[in-house]
């Protein structure tokens, strides 16, 4: 059996890094070199070494057990590529919104997309840049107006085990949300 999840979030939050860290195959990426045309649109002030950006999607695969294979689709983070999100989430059982706490404002639109516009379970994963977070989970929940039942966890997108914890949390939450949505009797 296979399942599909989406990894979303703002520009430079760690989506491509997460997919690459947990994928058992070499990830498929659509990274393009950032040009001067992106300067007015892409704030790299806290990520000065970032020279590429996702322009379509990332793809990875992980075998959870003998019965389940998970396909991961990473979204582009910039608003000019959001027209692809509706297609990327089609058929997904859940989504991870990766948040860079140094730039919370870059996460508003991604959270809003899943919180108000779609019927897909999602969790929020706070990426620990430089091994730390700028805010607590509850501060992020309040600032981004995340629903009380949505799990928020912190992780390091570069670390396979930490990324695996994010995916396990999403699968558990998606299963729980699906069970609650099923009609009784």
Percent of the residues in the chain that have a pLDDT greater than 70, as a whole number: 77
| Distance between CA atoms of residues 7 and 17, nearest Å | 10
In terms of phi and psi (left: phi > 0; alpha: psi -120 to 50; beta: otherwise), the region of 115 is alpha
Cα separation, 100 vs 68, whole angstroms: 30
pLDDT at 146: 93
Q: Is residue 152 within 8 Å of residue 126, measured between CB atoms?
A: yes
- pLDDT attached to residue 184: 44
- Please write the tens of the pLDDT for every residue from 112-166: 989 876 689 999 999 998 888 889 999 999 999 998 999 999 999 999 999 999 9
- Structural domains for the chain: 2-181 (3.40.50.300)
For residue 34, pLDDT over 70 is answered with no
- Provide the b/e sequence for 132-162 (b: ≥16 CB within 10 Å): ebebebeebbebbebeeebbbbbbbbeeeeb
Task: Give the length of the chain.
Answer: 185
Write the Ramachandran bin of 145: left for phi over 0, alpha for psi from -120 to 50, otherwise beta: left
The pair of three-digit structure tokens given for residue 149, joined into one six-digit string: 């039942």
Answer whether 0.85 is exceeded by the pTM. no
pLDDT higher than 90, residue 49: no
Q: What tens digit of pLDDT does each residue of 62-120 get?
A: 998 888 899 999 987 666 667 778 888 889 999 999 999 988 988 998 999 898 766 89
Which CA distances in Å does 98 have to 85, 106, 149, 162?
A: 15, 10, 17, 13
Q: Work out whether strand 2-9 and strand 94-100 pair parallel, antiparallel, or are unpaired.
A: parallel
Residues 140, 47: Cα–Cα separation, whole Å: 20
């Amino acid at each position: 059996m296979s399942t599909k999840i989406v990894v979303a979030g703002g520009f430079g939050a760690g989506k491509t890094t997460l997919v690459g860290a947990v994928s058992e195959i070499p990830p498929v990426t659509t990274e393009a070199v950032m040009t001067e045309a992106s300067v007015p649109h892409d704030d790299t002030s806290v990520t000065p070494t970032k020279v590429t950006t996702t322009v379509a999607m990332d793809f990875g695969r992980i075998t959870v057990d003998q019965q389940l294979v998970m396909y991961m689709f990473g979204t582009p983070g910039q608003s000019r590529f959001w027209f692809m999100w509706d297609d990327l989430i089609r058929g997904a059982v859940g989504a991870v919104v990766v948040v860079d706490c140094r730039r919370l404002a870059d996460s508003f639109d991604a959270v809003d997309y899943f919180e108000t516009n779609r019927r897909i379970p999602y969790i929020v994963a706070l990426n620990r840049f430089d091994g730390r977070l700028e805010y607590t989970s509850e501060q992020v929940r309040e600032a981004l107006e995340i629903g009380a039942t949505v799990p928020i966890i912190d992780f390091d997108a570069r670390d396979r085990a930490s990324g695996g914890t994010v995916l396990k949390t999403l699968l558990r939450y998606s299963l729980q949300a699906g069970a609650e949505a099923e009609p009784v009797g």
